[in-house]
A and B are shown apart, each in its own frame.
Chain A
Amino acid sequence: MGLILEVKNLTKKFGGLTAVNDVNFEVHRGEILGLIGPNGAGKTTLFQLISGFEKPNSGSVRFNGVDITGKRPYQIVNLGLARTFQLVRSFRFLSLLDNISVACLSPRGREAFGEVGIDAAASSILASVGLVDKARLPPVILPHGDLRKLEIGKALGTNPEFLLLDEPFSGLAHEESAGITRLIEQLHEEGVTVFMTGHVLRELMTLVPRVIAMHQGRLIAEGPPKEVASNKIVLEAYLGRGEGFA
Protein backbone atom coordinates (compact mmCIF):
# COMPACT_ATOMS: atom_id res chain seq x y z
CA MET A 1 0.00 0.00 0.00
CA GLY A 2 2.12 2.84 1.24
CA LEU A 3 1.70 6.58 1.22
CA ILE A 4 0.28 8.43 -1.74
CA LEU A 5 0.47 11.96 -0.30
CA GLU A 6 2.81 13.43 2.29
CA VAL A 7 2.25 16.98 3.48
CA LYS A 8 5.05 18.48 5.57
CA ASN A 9 5.07 21.77 7.51
CA LEU A 10 2.77 23.39 4.98
CA THR A 11 2.12 27.08 5.68
CA LYS A 12 0.22 29.71 3.73
CA LYS A 13 -0.22 33.31 4.74
CA PHE A 14 -2.62 35.84 3.21
CA GLY A 15 -1.30 39.16 4.46
CA GLY A 16 -1.55 38.93 8.23
CA LEU A 17 -3.78 35.86 8.19
CA THR A 18 -2.20 32.42 8.36
CA ALA A 19 -4.79 30.33 6.56
CA VAL A 20 -2.74 27.12 6.73
CA ASN A 21 -0.36 26.88 9.65
CA ASP A 22 2.40 24.27 9.77
CA VAL A 23 0.20 21.39 8.66
CA ASN A 24 1.55 17.81 8.59
CA PHE A 25 -0.32 14.68 7.54
CA GLU A 26 -0.24 11.68 5.26
CA VAL A 27 -2.74 9.93 3.05
CA HIS A 28 -2.51 6.18 2.44
CA ARG A 29 -2.99 4.73 -0.99
CA GLY A 30 -6.56 3.55 -1.52
CA GLU A 31 -8.12 5.15 1.54
CA ILE A 32 -10.92 7.66 1.91
CA LEU A 33 -9.81 10.46 4.18
CA GLY A 34 -12.10 13.21 5.46
CA LEU A 35 -11.15 16.77 6.37
CA ILE A 36 -13.49 18.69 8.63
CA GLY A 37 -13.37 22.13 10.16
CA PRO A 38 -15.64 25.13 10.69
CA ASN A 39 -16.01 27.90 8.11
CA GLY A 40 -12.73 29.59 7.39
CA ALA A 41 -10.67 26.80 8.97
CA GLY A 42 -8.42 26.68 5.91
CA LYS A 43 -9.68 23.51 4.23
CA THR A 44 -10.06 25.00 0.77
CA THR A 45 -6.73 26.76 1.09
CA LEU A 46 -5.08 23.43 1.94
CA PHE A 47 -6.59 21.96 -1.23
CA GLN A 48 -5.39 24.95 -3.23
CA LEU A 49 -1.86 24.32 -1.97
CA ILE A 50 -1.90 20.60 -2.71
CA SER A 51 -3.34 21.07 -6.20
CA GLY A 52 -0.95 23.88 -7.11
CA PHE A 53 -3.44 26.75 -7.39
CA GLU A 54 -1.68 28.59 -4.55
CA LYS A 55 2.01 28.55 -3.68
CA PRO A 56 2.83 27.81 -0.02
CA ASN A 57 5.06 30.14 1.99
CA SER A 58 6.89 27.10 3.30
CA GLY A 59 6.59 23.36 3.56
CA SER A 60 6.29 20.67 0.96
CA VAL A 61 3.83 18.31 -0.69
CA ARG A 62 4.94 14.95 -2.03
CA PHE A 63 2.71 12.90 -4.28
CA ASN A 64 3.72 9.29 -4.98
CA GLY A 65 7.13 10.18 -3.63
CA VAL A 66 7.56 13.09 -6.06
CA ASP A 67 7.88 16.62 -4.71
CA ILE A 68 5.05 18.57 -6.33
CA THR A 69 5.39 21.78 -4.31
CA GLY A 70 5.26 24.79 -6.61
CA LYS A 71 4.28 22.80 -9.72
CA ARG A 72 1.57 24.25 -11.93
CA PRO A 73 -1.96 22.82 -11.48
CA TYR A 74 -2.10 21.10 -14.86
CA GLN A 75 1.21 19.37 -14.17
CA ILE A 76 -0.09 18.00 -10.91
CA VAL A 77 -3.29 16.85 -12.57
CA ASN A 78 -1.28 14.99 -15.16
CA LEU A 79 0.58 13.17 -12.41
CA GLY A 80 -2.77 11.77 -11.32
CA LEU A 81 -3.99 14.19 -8.66
CA ALA A 82 -7.26 15.84 -9.64
CA ARG A 83 -9.60 18.06 -7.66
CA THR A 84 -13.07 19.55 -7.61
CA PHE A 85 -14.02 23.03 -6.51
CA GLN A 86 -16.23 24.05 -3.61
CA LEU A 87 -17.91 26.62 -5.85
CA VAL A 88 -18.86 24.65 -8.95
CA ARG A 89 -17.24 25.73 -12.19
CA SER A 90 -18.04 24.70 -15.72
CA PHE A 91 -17.27 25.53 -19.32
CA ARG A 92 -20.41 27.54 -19.91
CA PHE A 93 -20.79 27.26 -23.63
CA LEU A 94 -19.72 23.66 -24.02
CA SER A 95 -22.09 20.70 -23.81
CA LEU A 96 -21.75 18.43 -20.79
CA LEU A 97 -20.07 15.86 -22.97
CA ASP A 98 -17.51 18.40 -24.13
CA ASN A 99 -17.03 19.60 -20.56
CA ILE A 100 -15.80 16.12 -19.74
CA SER A 101 -13.95 15.73 -23.05
CA VAL A 102 -11.74 18.68 -22.16
CA ALA A 103 -10.41 16.74 -19.19
CA CYS A 104 -10.08 13.59 -21.31
CA LEU A 105 -7.98 15.66 -23.74
CA SER A 106 -5.37 16.34 -21.08
CA PRO A 107 -2.16 14.38 -21.66
CA ARG A 108 -3.08 11.95 -18.90
CA GLY A 109 -6.58 11.52 -20.26
CA ARG A 110 -5.31 10.84 -23.77
CA GLU A 111 -2.88 8.31 -22.45
CA ALA A 112 -5.64 6.48 -20.64
CA PHE A 113 -8.36 6.65 -23.26
CA GLY A 114 -6.41 6.93 -26.48
CA GLU A 115 -6.88 9.55 -29.15
CA VAL A 116 -9.96 7.85 -30.62
CA GLY A 117 -11.54 6.76 -27.36
CA ILE A 118 -12.10 10.26 -26.02
CA ASP A 119 -15.79 10.55 -26.89
CA ALA A 120 -16.54 7.08 -25.60
CA ALA A 121 -14.64 7.74 -22.39
CA ALA A 122 -16.42 11.04 -21.85
CA SER A 123 -19.82 9.39 -22.36
CA SER A 124 -19.05 6.59 -19.96
CA ILE A 125 -17.88 9.07 -17.32
CA LEU A 126 -21.04 11.07 -17.88
CA ALA A 127 -23.01 7.87 -17.39
CA SER A 128 -21.17 7.01 -14.21
CA VAL A 129 -22.00 10.38 -12.66
CA GLY A 130 -25.58 10.03 -13.85
CA LEU A 131 -25.76 12.77 -16.46
CA VAL A 132 -25.72 10.78 -19.67
CA ASP A 133 -29.22 11.78 -20.70
CA LYS A 134 -28.15 15.44 -20.61
CA ALA A 135 -24.96 15.00 -22.64
CA ARG A 136 -25.88 17.60 -25.26
CA LEU A 137 -27.09 20.30 -22.87
CA PRO A 138 -25.01 23.27 -21.75
CA PRO A 139 -24.28 23.44 -18.02
CA VAL A 140 -25.98 26.81 -17.50
CA ILE A 141 -29.44 25.27 -17.52
CA LEU A 142 -28.62 22.51 -15.04
CA PRO A 143 -29.74 22.46 -11.39
CA HIS A 144 -27.07 22.75 -8.73
CA GLY A 145 -27.04 19.04 -7.95
CA ASP A 146 -26.15 18.18 -11.54
CA LEU A 147 -23.35 20.74 -11.55
CA ARG A 148 -21.84 19.00 -8.51
CA LYS A 149 -21.89 15.73 -10.46
CA LEU A 150 -20.35 17.45 -13.46
CA GLU A 151 -17.64 18.82 -11.20
CA ILE A 152 -16.64 15.29 -10.23
CA GLY A 153 -17.02 14.08 -13.80
CA LYS A 154 -14.51 16.66 -15.03
CA ALA A 155 -11.99 15.48 -12.46
CA LEU A 156 -12.56 11.85 -13.52
CA GLY A 157 -11.82 12.76 -17.13
CA THR A 158 -8.18 13.12 -16.21
CA ASN A 159 -8.11 9.50 -15.00
CA PRO A 160 -6.94 10.39 -11.48
CA GLU A 161 -5.57 8.01 -8.91
CA PHE A 162 -6.09 10.61 -6.21
CA LEU A 163 -9.15 12.83 -5.93
CA LEU A 164 -9.52 15.95 -3.82
CA LEU A 165 -13.21 16.68 -3.34
CA ASP A 166 -13.95 20.08 -1.82
CA GLU A 167 -17.39 19.97 -0.16
CA PRO A 168 -18.93 17.57 -2.68
CA PHE A 169 -22.23 17.62 -0.76
CA SER A 170 -22.66 21.33 -0.26
CA GLY A 171 -26.05 22.61 -1.32
CA LEU A 172 -27.42 19.15 -2.07
CA ALA A 173 -30.68 17.57 -0.99
CA HIS A 174 -30.47 14.29 0.89
CA GLU A 175 -31.11 11.93 -2.02
CA GLU A 176 -28.65 13.81 -4.20
CA SER A 177 -26.00 13.42 -1.50
CA ALA A 178 -26.73 9.72 -1.44
CA GLY A 179 -26.03 9.51 -5.16
CA ILE A 180 -22.67 11.21 -4.72
CA THR A 181 -21.87 8.96 -1.78
CA ARG A 182 -22.47 5.90 -3.95
CA LEU A 183 -20.27 7.36 -6.65
CA ILE A 184 -17.43 7.96 -4.20
CA GLU A 185 -17.76 4.44 -2.83
CA GLN A 186 -17.61 3.07 -6.32
CA LEU A 187 -14.48 5.07 -7.12
CA HIS A 188 -12.94 3.84 -3.92
CA GLU A 189 -13.62 0.25 -4.98
CA GLU A 190 -11.91 0.94 -8.27
CA GLY A 191 -8.82 1.92 -6.28
CA VAL A 192 -9.00 5.71 -6.39
CA THR A 193 -7.74 7.43 -3.25
CA VAL A 194 -10.17 10.11 -2.04
CA PHE A 195 -9.51 13.08 0.22
CA MET A 196 -12.64 15.12 0.85
CA THR A 197 -13.83 18.01 2.97
CA GLY A 198 -17.14 18.72 4.52
CA HIS A 199 -17.81 21.14 7.25
CA VAL A 200 -20.55 19.04 8.71
CA LEU A 201 -19.24 15.72 9.96
CA ARG A 202 -22.55 13.88 9.57
CA GLU A 203 -22.18 13.88 5.81
CA LEU A 204 -18.83 12.15 6.01
CA MET A 205 -19.58 9.82 8.90
CA THR A 206 -20.77 6.81 6.92
CA LEU A 207 -18.27 7.23 4.15
CA VAL A 208 -14.89 7.81 5.74
CA PRO A 209 -13.08 5.58 8.19
CA ARG A 210 -10.62 8.31 9.17
CA VAL A 211 -10.87 12.10 9.41
CA ILE A 212 -8.56 14.95 10.23
CA ALA A 213 -9.90 18.15 11.75
CA MET A 214 -8.69 21.66 11.10
CA HIS A 215 -9.21 24.90 12.97
CA GLN A 216 -7.70 28.32 12.31
CA GLY A 217 -5.19 26.84 9.90
CA ARG A 218 -3.94 24.10 12.22
CA LEU A 219 -4.66 20.39 12.39
CA ILE A 220 -6.26 19.76 15.77
CA ALA A 221 -7.37 16.12 15.70
CA GLU A 222 -7.10 12.91 13.75
CA GLY A 223 -8.82 9.54 13.98
CA PRO A 224 -12.06 7.66 13.28
CA PRO A 225 -15.06 10.00 12.85
CA LYS A 226 -16.69 8.93 16.12
CA GLU A 227 -13.59 9.75 18.14
CA VAL A 228 -12.97 13.06 16.43
CA ALA A 229 -16.61 13.99 16.90
CA SER A 230 -16.28 13.61 20.65
CA ASN A 231 -12.87 15.29 20.82
CA LYS A 232 -13.03 18.25 23.19
CA ILE A 233 -10.86 20.60 21.12
CA VAL A 234 -12.91 19.89 18.04
CA LEU A 235 -16.13 20.50 19.90
CA GLU A 236 -14.83 23.80 21.18
CA ALA A 237 -13.68 24.87 17.73
CA TYR A 238 -17.19 24.38 16.40
CA LEU A 239 -18.95 25.75 19.47
CA GLY A 240 -16.73 28.80 19.50
CA ARG A 241 -18.21 29.66 16.12
CA GLY A 242 -21.72 28.81 17.22
CA GLU A 243 -22.06 26.04 14.70
CA GLY A 244 -23.26 22.53 15.21
CA PHE A 245 -21.59 19.77 13.28
CA ALA A 246 -22.98 16.42 14.33
Chain B
Amino acid sequence: MMKLQFDWRSRLSRFRVWALSFRGGITLLCLVGLLLVPLTGREYLARIVITAMILTIFAASWDLLAGFAGQVSFGHAAFFGISGYVTAAFVKFVGAPWFLAIFIGTGWAVVFSLLIGIPCLRLKGPYLALGTLAFALILYNLFLTGTWLGGTEGISALPNIGSVFVEFYIMAAFMVASLIIMRAIVDSRLGTILKAIRDDEVGADAAGINTTVYKLVAFMVSGLFAGISGALFVLDITAVNPAVYQPLYSFYAIIMASIGGIATIYGSIVGSFLFTLLSEFLRPLAAASLLIFATLLILIIRFSEEGVMNPFLEHVRDLWDKIRGR
Protein backbone atom coordinates (compact mmCIF):
# COMPACT_ATOMS: atom_id res chain seq x y z
CA MET B 1 0.00 0.00 0.00
CA MET B 2 1.40 3.34 1.07
CA LYS B 3 5.03 4.08 1.73
CA LEU B 4 5.65 7.01 4.03
CA GLN B 5 8.80 8.65 2.88
CA PHE B 6 10.97 10.59 5.22
CA ASP B 7 13.18 13.33 4.02
CA TRP B 8 14.68 14.52 7.27
CA ARG B 9 16.20 17.76 6.13
CA SER B 10 13.05 19.14 4.56
CA ARG B 11 11.07 17.85 7.53
CA LEU B 12 13.34 19.78 9.85
CA SER B 13 13.04 23.03 7.97
CA ARG B 14 9.31 22.57 7.71
CA PHE B 15 9.22 21.95 11.47
CA ARG B 16 10.97 25.24 12.07
CA VAL B 17 8.46 27.13 9.95
CA TRP B 18 5.62 25.36 11.70
CA ALA B 19 6.98 26.01 15.19
CA LEU B 20 7.22 29.71 14.45
CA SER B 21 3.72 29.83 12.97
CA PHE B 22 0.74 30.68 15.13
CA ARG B 23 -0.70 27.19 15.37
CA GLY B 24 2.71 25.61 15.78
CA GLY B 25 3.57 28.00 18.57
CA ILE B 26 0.34 27.32 20.42
CA THR B 27 0.79 23.59 20.04
CA LEU B 28 4.34 23.66 21.40
CA LEU B 29 3.27 25.91 24.25
CA CYS B 30 0.50 23.48 25.20
CA LEU B 31 2.87 20.56 24.96
CA VAL B 32 5.36 22.21 27.27
CA GLY B 33 2.55 23.12 29.64
CA LEU B 34 1.37 19.54 29.61
CA LEU B 35 4.83 18.16 30.37
CA LEU B 36 5.14 20.55 33.31
CA VAL B 37 2.01 19.20 35.01
CA PRO B 38 3.78 16.49 37.03
CA LEU B 39 6.32 19.06 38.24
CA THR B 40 3.56 20.73 40.21
CA GLY B 41 3.60 17.58 42.31
CA ARG B 42 -0.17 17.42 42.40
CA GLU B 43 -1.10 13.80 42.02
CA TYR B 44 -4.81 14.48 41.67
CA LEU B 45 -4.30 16.84 38.75
CA ALA B 46 -1.91 14.41 37.09
CA ARG B 47 -4.52 11.64 37.36
CA ILE B 48 -7.17 13.72 35.64
CA VAL B 49 -4.82 14.73 32.87
CA ILE B 50 -3.82 11.08 32.37
CA THR B 51 -7.46 10.18 31.81
CA ALA B 52 -7.87 13.09 29.42
CA MET B 53 -4.82 12.01 27.44
CA ILE B 54 -6.06 8.44 27.07
CA LEU B 55 -9.50 9.60 26.00
CA THR B 56 -7.85 11.94 23.50
CA ILE B 57 -6.40 8.94 21.66
CA PHE B 58 -9.78 7.23 21.77
CA ALA B 59 -11.68 10.25 20.43
CA ALA B 60 -9.08 10.86 17.72
CA SER B 61 -9.34 7.25 16.58
CA TRP B 62 -13.09 7.73 16.16
CA ASP B 63 -12.46 10.98 14.31
CA LEU B 64 -10.13 9.22 11.91
CA LEU B 65 -12.80 6.70 10.99
CA ALA B 66 -15.86 8.96 11.03
CA GLY B 67 -14.47 12.40 10.27
CA PHE B 68 -12.01 11.34 7.58
CA ALA B 69 -13.27 8.05 6.18
CA GLY B 70 -16.96 8.90 6.72
CA GLN B 71 -17.72 5.65 8.53
CA VAL B 72 -19.73 6.85 11.51
CA SER B 73 -19.34 4.14 14.14
CA PHE B 74 -21.54 3.97 17.22
CA GLY B 75 -19.71 0.95 18.54
CA HIS B 76 -16.20 2.21 19.02
CA ALA B 77 -16.25 0.89 22.56
CA ALA B 78 -15.90 -2.59 21.05
CA PHE B 79 -12.30 -1.92 20.04
CA PHE B 80 -11.59 -0.02 23.24
CA GLY B 81 -13.07 -2.79 25.38
CA ILE B 82 -11.62 -5.83 23.67
CA SER B 83 -8.13 -4.41 23.84
CA GLY B 84 -8.62 -3.44 27.47
CA TYR B 85 -9.79 -6.93 28.36
CA VAL B 86 -7.01 -8.73 26.53
CA THR B 87 -4.40 -6.41 28.02
CA ALA B 88 -5.76 -6.98 31.51
CA ALA B 89 -5.91 -10.74 30.99
CA PHE B 90 -2.34 -10.94 29.79
CA VAL B 91 -1.04 -8.85 32.64
CA LYS B 92 -3.08 -10.65 35.26
CA PHE B 93 -3.13 -14.29 34.14
CA VAL B 94 0.04 -14.59 32.06
CA GLY B 95 2.09 -12.06 33.96
CA ALA B 96 3.09 -10.30 30.76
CA PRO B 97 4.79 -6.92 31.15
CA TRP B 98 2.48 -4.03 30.42
CA PHE B 99 4.12 -2.87 27.18
CA LEU B 100 3.85 -6.35 25.72
CA ALA B 101 0.24 -6.63 26.86
CA ILE B 102 -0.58 -3.37 25.08
CA PHE B 103 0.73 -4.88 21.84
CA ILE B 104 -1.37 -8.01 22.22
CA GLY B 105 -4.48 -6.13 23.27
CA THR B 106 -4.13 -3.71 20.38
CA GLY B 107 -3.61 -6.61 17.99
CA TRP B 108 -6.93 -8.02 19.10
CA ALA B 109 -8.58 -4.69 18.55
CA VAL B 110 -7.26 -4.68 14.99
CA VAL B 111 -8.60 -8.20 14.45
CA PHE B 112 -11.97 -7.08 15.76
CA SER B 113 -11.91 -4.02 13.54
CA LEU B 114 -11.84 -6.44 10.62
CA LEU B 115 -14.44 -8.74 12.16
CA ILE B 116 -16.76 -5.76 12.54
CA GLY B 117 -15.62 -3.81 9.51
CA ILE B 118 -16.04 -6.56 6.92
CA PRO B 119 -19.72 -7.30 7.58
CA CYS B 120 -20.43 -3.57 7.90
CA LEU B 121 -18.84 -2.67 4.57
CA ARG B 122 -22.12 -2.42 2.72
CA LEU B 123 -23.81 -0.37 5.42
CA LYS B 124 -24.14 3.38 5.43
CA GLY B 125 -25.48 6.13 7.64
CA PRO B 126 -27.87 4.95 10.34
CA TYR B 127 -27.47 1.34 9.25
CA LEU B 128 -23.75 1.44 9.83
CA ALA B 129 -24.34 3.24 13.11
CA LEU B 130 -26.70 0.57 14.36
CA GLY B 131 -24.61 -2.28 12.96
CA THR B 132 -21.51 -1.18 14.87
CA LEU B 133 -23.61 -0.42 17.95
CA ALA B 134 -25.09 -3.91 17.82
CA PHE B 135 -21.64 -5.50 17.69
CA ALA B 136 -20.52 -3.55 20.74
CA LEU B 137 -23.73 -4.41 22.60
CA ILE B 138 -23.33 -8.09 21.80
CA LEU B 139 -19.84 -7.99 23.26
CA TYR B 140 -21.19 -6.15 26.29
CA ASN B 141 -23.86 -8.76 26.87
CA LEU B 142 -21.51 -11.67 26.21
CA PHE B 143 -19.05 -10.41 28.78
CA LEU B 144 -21.83 -9.57 31.20
CA THR B 145 -23.55 -12.97 31.06
CA GLY B 146 -20.47 -15.08 30.36
CA THR B 147 -18.24 -16.46 33.07
CA TRP B 148 -14.94 -16.02 31.26
CA LEU B 149 -12.42 -13.32 32.07
CA GLY B 150 -13.99 -12.57 35.40
CA GLY B 151 -17.63 -12.49 34.32
CA THR B 152 -19.65 -9.55 35.53
CA GLU B 153 -16.90 -8.52 37.95
CA GLY B 154 -14.24 -8.29 35.31
CA ILE B 155 -10.55 -8.32 36.12
CA SER B 156 -9.15 -6.12 38.84
CA ALA B 157 -6.09 -5.44 40.97
CA LEU B 158 -3.66 -5.18 38.08
CA PRO B 159 -0.20 -3.96 39.05
CA ASN B 160 0.53 -0.26 38.55
CA ILE B 161 2.82 0.53 35.68
CA GLY B 162 4.74 2.99 37.81
CA SER B 163 4.27 6.00 40.02
CA VAL B 164 1.67 8.51 38.85
CA PHE B 165 4.32 10.77 37.45
CA VAL B 166 6.12 8.04 35.56
CA GLU B 167 2.76 6.91 34.23
CA PHE B 168 2.02 10.48 33.23
CA TYR B 169 5.02 10.69 30.93
CA ILE B 170 4.35 7.28 29.45
CA MET B 171 0.78 8.27 28.63
CA ALA B 172 1.90 11.63 27.29
CA ALA B 173 4.36 9.90 24.99
CA PHE B 174 1.64 7.57 23.75
CA MET B 175 -0.74 10.44 23.17
CA VAL B 176 1.72 12.64 21.31
CA ALA B 177 2.95 9.77 19.16
CA SER B 178 -0.56 8.54 18.37
CA LEU B 179 -1.80 11.97 17.41
CA ILE B 180 1.20 12.76 15.23
CA ILE B 181 0.86 9.44 13.43
CA MET B 182 -2.88 9.84 12.93
CA ARG B 183 -2.46 13.38 11.65
CA ALA B 184 0.31 12.23 9.30
CA ILE B 185 -1.99 9.52 7.99
CA VAL B 186 -4.87 11.86 7.27
CA ASP B 187 -2.51 14.34 5.61
CA SER B 188 -0.96 11.62 3.45
CA ARG B 189 -2.12 10.21 0.14
CA LEU B 190 -4.00 7.55 2.09
CA GLY B 191 -5.83 10.37 3.85
CA THR B 192 -6.78 11.97 0.53
CA ILE B 193 -8.29 8.68 -0.61
CA LEU B 194 -10.20 8.24 2.65
CA LYS B 195 -11.59 11.76 2.42
CA ALA B 196 -12.65 11.07 -1.16
CA ILE B 197 -14.53 7.96 -0.04
CA ARG B 198 -16.17 10.00 2.70
CA ASP B 199 -17.26 12.74 0.31
CA ASP B 200 -18.48 10.51 -2.52
CA GLU B 201 -18.05 6.77 -2.42
CA VAL B 202 -19.46 6.21 -5.90
CA GLY B 203 -17.17 8.90 -7.24
CA ALA B 204 -14.16 7.25 -5.60
CA ASP B 205 -15.12 3.95 -7.21
CA ALA B 206 -15.36 5.71 -10.56
CA ALA B 207 -11.90 7.16 -9.95
CA GLY B 208 -10.52 3.63 -9.79
CA ILE B 209 -10.26 3.37 -6.01
CA ASN B 210 -10.99 0.03 -4.39
CA THR B 211 -13.21 1.48 -1.70
CA THR B 212 -13.62 -1.84 0.11
CA VAL B 213 -9.93 -2.15 0.85
CA TYR B 214 -9.53 1.47 1.90
CA LYS B 215 -12.55 1.38 4.18
CA LEU B 216 -11.10 -1.67 5.87
CA VAL B 217 -7.76 0.08 6.20
CA ALA B 218 -9.58 2.93 7.91
CA PHE B 219 -11.30 0.48 10.24
CA MET B 220 -7.99 -1.17 11.07
CA VAL B 221 -6.08 2.04 11.72
CA SER B 222 -8.93 3.37 13.82
CA GLY B 223 -9.26 0.05 15.64
CA LEU B 224 -5.53 0.11 16.31
CA PHE B 225 -5.59 3.48 18.04
CA ALA B 226 -8.85 2.76 19.84
CA GLY B 227 -7.14 -0.44 21.00
CA ILE B 228 -4.12 1.46 22.29
CA SER B 229 -6.36 3.80 24.24
CA GLY B 230 -8.37 0.88 25.64
CA ALA B 231 -5.21 -0.85 26.81
CA LEU B 232 -3.87 2.34 28.39
CA PHE B 233 -7.21 3.03 30.04
CA VAL B 234 -7.26 -0.37 31.71
CA LEU B 235 -3.61 -0.11 32.78
CA ASP B 236 -4.38 3.31 34.27
CA ILE B 237 -7.38 2.28 36.34
CA THR B 238 -5.82 -1.18 36.94
CA ALA B 239 -9.14 -2.93 36.37
CA VAL B 240 -11.62 -3.73 33.66
CA ASN B 241 -15.25 -4.84 33.61
CA PRO B 242 -17.95 -5.32 30.97
CA ALA B 243 -18.95 -1.67 31.29
CA VAL B 244 -16.13 -0.73 28.89
CA TYR B 245 -18.31 -2.04 26.06
CA GLN B 246 -21.22 0.22 26.95
CA PRO B 247 -22.64 2.46 24.24
CA LEU B 248 -21.84 5.31 26.61
CA TYR B 249 -18.11 4.92 25.94
CA SER B 250 -18.70 4.97 22.21
CA PHE B 251 -20.69 8.14 22.65
CA TYR B 252 -17.98 9.70 24.79
CA ALA B 253 -15.61 9.32 21.86
CA ILE B 254 -18.14 10.89 19.50
CA ILE B 255 -18.94 13.74 21.85
CA MET B 256 -15.32 14.55 22.62
CA ALA B 257 -14.31 14.53 18.98
CA SER B 258 -17.27 16.73 18.08
CA ILE B 259 -16.69 19.24 20.85
CA GLY B 260 -13.18 19.74 19.57
CA GLY B 261 -14.15 19.61 15.92
CA ILE B 262 -14.74 16.69 13.59
CA ALA B 263 -12.14 15.87 10.94
CA THR B 264 -9.32 17.64 12.73
CA ILE B 265 -7.67 14.89 14.87
CA TYR B 266 -6.17 17.57 17.12
CA GLY B 267 -9.65 18.76 18.04
CA SER B 268 -9.89 15.59 20.11
CA ILE B 269 -7.34 17.04 22.51
CA VAL B 270 -9.52 20.07 23.15
CA GLY B 271 -12.66 17.93 23.34
CA SER B 272 -11.23 15.37 25.73
CA PHE B 273 -9.56 17.86 28.02
CA LEU B 274 -12.69 20.02 28.16
CA PHE B 275 -14.82 16.95 28.76
CA THR B 276 -12.62 15.46 31.47
CA LEU B 277 -11.71 18.67 33.23
CA LEU B 278 -15.24 20.00 33.12
CA SER B 279 -16.75 16.84 34.58
CA GLU B 280 -14.05 16.95 37.24
CA PHE B 281 -14.53 20.60 38.15
CA LEU B 282 -18.29 20.24 38.24
CA ARG B 283 -18.08 17.25 40.51
CA PRO B 284 -18.46 19.25 43.76
CA LEU B 285 -21.92 20.31 42.55
CA ALA B 286 -22.95 16.66 42.88
CA ALA B 287 -26.19 15.87 41.07
CA ALA B 288 -26.26 19.21 39.30
CA SER B 289 -22.84 18.65 37.72
CA LEU B 290 -23.91 16.25 35.01
CA LEU B 291 -27.02 18.29 34.32
CA ILE B 292 -24.90 21.40 33.76
CA PHE B 293 -22.53 19.33 31.71
CA ALA B 294 -25.37 18.05 29.51
CA THR B 295 -26.64 21.58 29.03
CA LEU B 296 -23.21 22.83 28.02
CA LEU B 297 -22.92 19.93 25.64
CA ILE B 298 -26.18 20.81 23.95
CA LEU B 299 -25.12 24.43 23.65
CA ILE B 300 -21.70 23.60 22.24
CA ILE B 301 -23.13 21.23 19.65
CA ARG B 302 -25.92 23.60 18.77
CA PHE B 303 -23.85 26.72 18.37
CA SER B 304 -20.52 25.45 17.18
CA GLU B 305 -20.85 23.09 14.29
CA GLU B 306 -17.11 23.13 13.67
CA GLY B 307 -16.41 22.32 17.29
CA VAL B 308 -14.68 24.77 19.58
CA MET B 309 -11.03 24.38 18.61
CA ASN B 310 -10.83 26.10 15.24
CA PRO B 311 -13.16 29.03 15.98
CA PHE B 312 -11.36 29.60 19.28
CA LEU B 313 -7.94 29.58 17.65
CA GLU B 314 -9.18 32.03 15.03
CA HIS B 315 -10.33 34.44 17.72
CA VAL B 316 -7.08 34.19 19.62
CA ARG B 317 -5.15 34.77 16.43
CA ASP B 318 -7.18 37.91 15.64
CA LEU B 319 -6.52 39.16 19.14
CA TRP B 320 -2.84 38.36 18.84
CA ASP B 321 -2.60 40.17 15.52
CA LYS B 322 -4.29 43.19 17.09
CA ILE B 323 -1.92 43.20 20.03
CA ARG B 324 1.01 43.11 17.69
CA GLY B 325 -0.60 46.00 15.87
CA ARG B 326 -1.06 44.37 12.47
Contacts of B193 in A (CB 8 A): 102, 105
Q: Is the CB of A98 closer than 8 A to any CB of chain B?
A: yes
Main SS of chain B's interface residues? helix
A89 to B204, CA, bound (A): 10
Interface string of A93-108 (1 = CB under 8 A from B): 1100011011101111
Contact B196 A91 (CB under 8 A): yes
A38 within 8 A of B: no
**Complex interface: stretch among A75-83, A167-175, A183-191, A210-218:** A75-83
A28 interface residue per 8 A CB criterion? no
- B192 interfacial contact with A, CB 8 Å: yes
Q: In the complex where A91-B200, A94-B192, A94-B195 touch, is A108 in contact with B206 (Cβ < 8 A)?
A: no
Contact A51 B200 (CB under 8 A): no
Chain A hits for B205, CB < 8 A: 53, 72-74, 77
Q: Contact: B206 with A73, CB < 8 Å?
A: yes
Cα A155 to Cα B205 with chains together (Å)? 11
Q: How far is the CA of A53 from the CA of B193 in the complex (A)?
A: 20
> Which residues on B sit within 8 Å (CB–CB) of A73?
205-206
Pick the contact of B202: A89, A102, A115, A118 (CB < 8 A).
Answer: A89
Are B207 and A92 in contact, with the CB atoms below 8 A?
A: no
A69 at the interface (CB under 8 A from B): no
- Whether A91 lies near B195 (C-beta < 8 A) is yes
Closest B residue, CB atoms, query A80: B208
B211 CB within 8 Å of chain A:
yes
Take A91-B199, A91-B203 as given contacts and tell me if A74 and B210 are in contact as well, using a CB distance cutoff of 8 Å: yes
| Interface mask (A154-166 → B, CB under 8 Å = 1, otherwise 0) | 1101100000000
Interface size class of A (residues with CB under 8 A): 20 to 34
Chain A residues with CB under 8 A of B189: 101, 105, 118
Interface size (B, Cβ < 8 Å)? Answer: 20
State whether B207 touches A102 (Cβ < 8 A): yes
Q: How far is the CA of A91 from the CA of B202 in the complex (A)?
A: 10
**Does A85 interact with chain B (Cβ within 8 Å)?**
yes
Are B200 and A89 in touch, CB under 8 angstroms? Answer: yes
Q: A39 near B: Cβ within 8 Å?
A: no
**Does chain B have a CB within 8 A of A56?**
no
Chain A hits for B206, CB < 8 A: 51, 53, 73-74, 77, 82-83, 85, 89, 154-155
Chain A residues with Cβ under 8 A from B202's Cβ? 53, 89
CB-CB nearest in chain B for A94: B195
Cβ proximity bits B137-148 to A, threshold 8 Å, 1 near / 0 not:
000000000000
Contact across chains for B207 and A103 when beta carbons are under 8 A apart: yes
Q: Using Cβ atoms and an 8 Å threshold, which residues of chain A touch B263?
A: 93
Q: State whether A108 and B203 are in contact (beta carbons under 8 Å apart), knowing that A91-B195, A102-B192, A102-B193 are contacts in the complex.
A: no
Tell me, in angstroms, the Cα distance from A158 to B209 when the chains sit together: 10
A214 to B83, CA, bound (A): 58
The answer to whether B200 touches A103, judged by C-beta atoms less than 8 angstroms apart, is: no
Q: List 25 A-B contacts (CB under 8 A).
A: A51-B206, A73-B206, A74-B206, A74-B209, A77-B205, A78-B208, A82-B206, A83-B206, A89-B200, A90-B199, A90-B203, A93-B198, A93-B263, A94-B199, A98-B196, A102-B196, A102-B204, A102-B207, A105-B192, A105-B209, A106-B208, A154-B203, A154-B206, A154-B207, A158-B207
